[in-house]
Amino acid sequence: MVSVMYLDNSATTPLDPKVLDAMMPWLTSEFGNASSVHLYGRKARIAVEDARTEIAHALGAHPAELMFTSGGTESNNTALHSPLHESNLVDEVYCTAIEHHSVLDVVHAMKRKGARADVIDVDDHGRVALDDVARLDNKRSLISVMLVNNETGCVQDITAVRHLLPNAYLHTDAVQALGKVRINVQELGVDLATFSAHKIHGPKGIGALFVRRGIDFKPMMVGGGQERNRRAGTENVAAIVGFQHAVRYAMSEFDVRTSRMRQLTEQLRSLIAAMVPDVRFNTPVEFAAPHILNISFVDAESLDGEAILQLLDMRNVAASNGSACVSGSQQPSHVLSAMGLGRHEARAALRLSVSHLTTEEEIFQAATILSEVIRDLRV
């Protein structure tokens, strides 16, 4: 079998076999509904609450502050809708221009419906403009600022945002941050935070939303009392247990994994700088998560982003042109556009993302193949 160099770990990661082992009983013999009163149900309930406690502690949260969701998209939608529409806690909603679409599209939709909602600029490194943040309404507003950007890996200074807006509701999308940068929701000062399991070698379709205690949270999903009346629907016990184990290994191996990822992206940066002329690195050297390297090409007008991806794919390099959700759409990346890149350059960009499982050989091979693909396209 041909082995593929998988450099798309920001889109998703392979399931850790140890995580699968931990999930198996809950997919087979232990099939109970966590709301049932009998033995099967009680065992499932214990597993769910055990997972909630372990994940919450890993994030600096109280277990009661963590609700399970179907993943990052649902957590983001819920985080933005609940304070504005459901609980009437805020009058204005803001997010940065580089948020994932599961935040950005909600804010755009709110604006179209007449709500006071807007998008805040970032600088050319992709960092939120703190001057603009300082001008926002500090009371009765919700601001969403992602901790790590999924296209460039840029890390935001969330505590600085909190400092500028001590009374606003603050949400952070920490999907790309989990397992890559240290997270303590209390130290960050956030009220709401989004997490997802499948970016850290856990299963797809499971995530969590941190909701700080004391917030008058109203559910988006109704029809059952699960998750302390905050999210109706039978809990996915196997996925929750998988999430718990993925978090456990990401945390216990945090230093080894992150320094490995950092070493690999640095190696990739040096190789590309040496092998591919006229490249621009869109991932900042400072303030960057360890796993992502985003590049674009100075002569992007003559390069087609989709063609680069397809040629890489034909040579067994799996990469992405940005967020998985927009790949194939030929749209310029909204993240790179917000950072000031031109239309062509924002369309022909490439995101290479590693995990601790990526090898140095793969990095070398991928850089070599990339240099050949770009050379051939430039002819």
Ligand X SMILES: Cc1ncc(COP(=O)(O)O)c(C=O)c1O
- Give buried/exposed letters for 225-241 (b at 16+ CB in 10 A, else e): ebbeebbeeebbbbbbb
Size of interface with ligand X, in residues (CB under 6 A): 15
Beta sheet of 292-297, edge-to-edge order: 279-281, 292-297, 350-353
CA 9 from centre of chain: 11
Q: Which amino acid is at 262?
A: R
Q: Supply φ then ψ for residue 237, to 5 degrees.
A: -60, -45
- For ligand X, the binding residue among 77, 78, 156, 176 (CB under 6 A) is 176
- For ligand X, the binding residue among 93, 175, 200, 346 (CB under 6 A) is 175
Can you read off the two tokens belonging to residue 73?
Answer: 């998209």
Query: Among residue numbers 193 through 212, which ones bind ligand X (CB under 6 A)?
Result: 196, 207
- For ligand X, the binding residue among 150, 152, 172, 296 (CB under 6 A) is 150
- Contact stretch for ligand X (CB under 6 A) within 69-77, 137-145, 231-239, 366-374: 69-77
- For ligand X, the binding residue among 19, 32, 72, 351 (CB under 6 A) is 72
Smallest separation (angstroms) from ligand X to the CB of 76: 6
Maximum distance among all alpha carbons in the chain? 70
- Which residues, in sequence order, are CB contacts of 315 under 8 Å at separation 6+? 369, 373
Give the residue with the Cβ less far from ligand X, 195 or 297.
195
- For position 362 contacting ligand X by CB under 6 A, the verdict is no
Q: Residue 304, SS3? A: coil
- For position 179 contacting ligand X by CB under 6 A, the verdict is no
Give the residue with the Cβ less far from ligand X, 196 or 226.
196
CA 20 from centre of chain: 22
Q: Annotated catalytic, 95?
A: no
Among candidate residues 325, 28, 75, the one with its CA nearest the CA of residue 205: 75
Give the residue with the Cβ less far from ligand X, 8 or 92.
8
C-alpha to C-alpha distance for 321 and 131, rounded to whole angstroms: 30
Give the residue with the Cβ less far from ligand X, 98 or 311.
98
C-alpha to C-alpha distance for 98 and 298, rounded to whole angstroms: 21
- Closest residue to bound ligand X by CB: 72
Smallest separation (angstroms) from ligand X to the CB of 196: 3
- For position 71 contacting ligand X by CB under 6 A, the verdict is yes
Q: Which of 275, 324, 325, 369 is catalytic?
A: 325
- Contact stretch for ligand X (CB under 6 A) within 67-75, 211-219, 282-290, 303-311: 67-75
Q: Residue 96, SS3? A: strand
- For position 100 contacting ligand X by CB under 6 A, the verdict is yes
- For position 356 contacting ligand X by CB under 6 A, the verdict is no
C-alpha to C-alpha distance for 235 and 239, rounded to whole angstroms: 9
- Contact stretch for ligand X (CB under 6 A) within 66-74, 106-114, 181-189, 265-273: 66-74
C-alpha to C-alpha distance for 211 and 220, rounded to whole angstroms: 14
Residues known to be catalytic? 325
What is the binding site for ligand X (CB under 6 A)?
71-73, 76, 100, 102, 146, 150, 173, 175-176, 196, 207, 323-324
